[in-house]
Chain A
Amino acid sequence: GAGVSQSPSNKVTEKGKDVELRCDPISGHTALYWYRQSLGQGLEFLIYFQGNSAPDKSGLPSDRFSAERTGGSVSTLTIQRTQQEDSAVYLCASSAEGTTDTQYFGPGTRLTVL
C-alpha cells in the first residue's frame, strides 16, 4: 500500500518568507510525527499528533514553527519568517493506533533558506 508521502520534496526560499510543508500519513494511522534532520543537530523530534490534537509540541524550536492536522489525516508544518538555520530535511512519520513504537517515515522535504 501507499506509504507516507511528503510535499514538496525540495523547497528553496528566501530568508523571511513563510513556508508550508505537507505530510500525508499512511491511511488509518492515528499518530503523526514531525522530525527535523540537520547537519549540526542530527535528527530531532518536533511535534506529535494523536488524531487532530498535538499533546507534545516540545520539540518546536521557536514560535515561528507551527503545525496542524485536519481530519485525522494530512498535516501541515508551517515555518514563518524563515531563517537560514531552518535549512534542514523535515521528516514526517506515522504509526497505527497502539503501535506508536513502529513509525513509518516519509522521504522528507529538503528546505533551503537562502
Chain B
Amino acid sequence: AQSVTQLDSHVSVSEGTPVLLRCNYSSSYSPSLFWYVQHPNKGLQLLLKYTSAATLVKGINGFEAEFKKSETSFHLTKPSAHMSDAAEYFCVVSDHLSGNTGKLIFGQGTTLQVKP
C-alpha cells in the first residue's frame, strides 16, 4: 500500500530562520508526491509536486522539496520563514495502485508555527 508519514505534528520556528518539514513515503511504484498548504479557514493549495523529473522541486513562496529514493523521503524546506507561512502542511502521495484515478493519500499534517 502507498502511504506517507509526516514525522512531526508540530514545528515551531522563528521568523527568518530555516523551515524543515519532514515526510517519508512508502510506495511500490515510482511515486507522485506533493506538498499542500492549508491556511486557517482556507482551502488546500498546492505548493509543489514531484513526478519523476528533477529530484529537487521548487514550489511557490520559496518552498522546495527534495525527493530522495534511498531514504524514501520528500522533506519540505524554506531558507527563511515568514509570519505568513504559519499554516498546516500536508505531504501527499498519488495512489497509482488504484489505477490512474489520481486519488490522493494525505499525511496527518504538520502545523507550522512562526514566532516573531
Contacts and interface: CB of A to CB of B under 8 A. Distances in A.
Contacts of B44: 91, 93, 105
B102 A33 contact: yes
Contacts of B107: 42
Interface residues of A, number: 27
A31 interface: yes
B49 A100 contact: no
Nearest to A9: B41
Contacts of B94: 100-101
B101 A55 contact: yes
Interface in A38-67: 42-45, 48, 50, 55-56, 58-59
Contacts of A56: 98-99, 101, 103
B77 interface: no
5 shortest interchain CB distances as A-B pairs? A100-B102, A43-B106, A105-B44, A107-B43, A105-B43
Chain B: number of interface residues, binned into ranges = 20 to 34
27 contacts: A33-B103, A33-B104, A35-B104, A42-B106, A42-B107, A42-B108, A43-B90, A43-B106, A45-B95, A48-B101, A48-B102, A55-B99, A55-B101, A56-B101, A59-B103, A91-B43, A91-B44, A93-B44, A100-B101, A101-B102, A102-B46, A102-B49, A103-B46, A104-B46, A107-B42, A107-B43, A108-B43
A50 to B, nearest CB: 8
Contacts, number: 60
Contacts of A95: 102
B24 interface: no
A31 B102 CA distance: 9
Most buried by A among B42, B44, B100, B106: B44
A45 to B, nearest CB: 5
Interface in B2-43: 32, 34, 36, 42-43
